[in-house]
A and B are shown apart, each in its own frame.
Chain A
Amino acid sequence: AQSVTQLGSHVSVSEGALVLLRCNYSSSVPPYLFWYVQYPNQGLQLLLKYTTGATLVKGINGFEAEFKKSETSFHLTKPSAHMSDAAEYFCAVSGASGTYKYIFGTGTRLKVLA
């Protein structure tokens, strides 16, 4: 069964600093991986996803993530944090075709300090 683990329920960075949010997955089949952002009192918005092909995936708002099979990781990064990046971030994994599972990690709250 697929699952994802997000290390660090809270991450604080200074404005302009590197953002690194960690996600590790567990899957017996090639995983499909997603990162979402949730701003306060809003729904979930897709940042980026990995399906097949290029392991470095670029998303919206300057975020990117690298799929590393050897490390079973899909960490989210952004070179320079903005105040507007403060939000909850979720990693998700999709089951193989036919399973319909779409499972989320526990989330990481990103705080950006002025």
Chain B
Amino acid sequence: DTAVSQTPKYLVTQMGNDKSIKCEQNLGHDTMYWYKQDSKKFLKIMFSYNNKELIINETVPNRFSPKSPDKAHLNLHINSLELGDSAVYFCASRPQGSPGTEAFFGQGTRLTVV
């Protein structure tokens, strides 16, 4: 049973479209993250939610809107997609208040904007 699952795994879309990526974790964690990994493999934190509340928003264009319907889900909606949005997006989760505990990652969603 997958701990952190993302859907879809691959997403190819045209510029200007709107798309969503879904993430679910069954670990009972309170904190969830979205990371963007670009072509150079840099992993950049985008957002963090704790118990459905936005905690971290790292200078991400407002075309990106995370939504957390409950603490087990953190979805990422992207409006007006641009070529530069092409990347691999990773979802992760951690227990709240446990800085010594590692984050658990999904398998990633490879977004290609054409």
Contact = CB atoms under 8 A, between A and B. Distances in A.
Contacts, number: 60
Given A49-B102, A94-B99, A100-B31, A43 B42 contact: no
Given A43-B107, A49-B100, A100 B55 contact: yes
Contacts of B100: 32, 49, 51-52, 94
Interface of B: 31, 33, 35, 40-45, 48, 50, 55-56, 90, 92, 94, 97-100, 102-103, 105-108
A21 B78 CA distance: 36
Contacts of A67: none
Interface of A: 32, 34, 38, 42-46, 49, 51-52, 88, 90, 92, 94-104, 106-107, 109
A46 B94 CA distance: 13
B51 to A, nearest CB: 11
B93 to A, nearest CB: 11
Contact of A109 (B35, B41, B108): B41
Contacts of A46: 102
B97 A104 contact: no
Given A32-B99, A99-B99, 4 more contacts: A46-B102, A100-B31, A100-B48, A103-B45
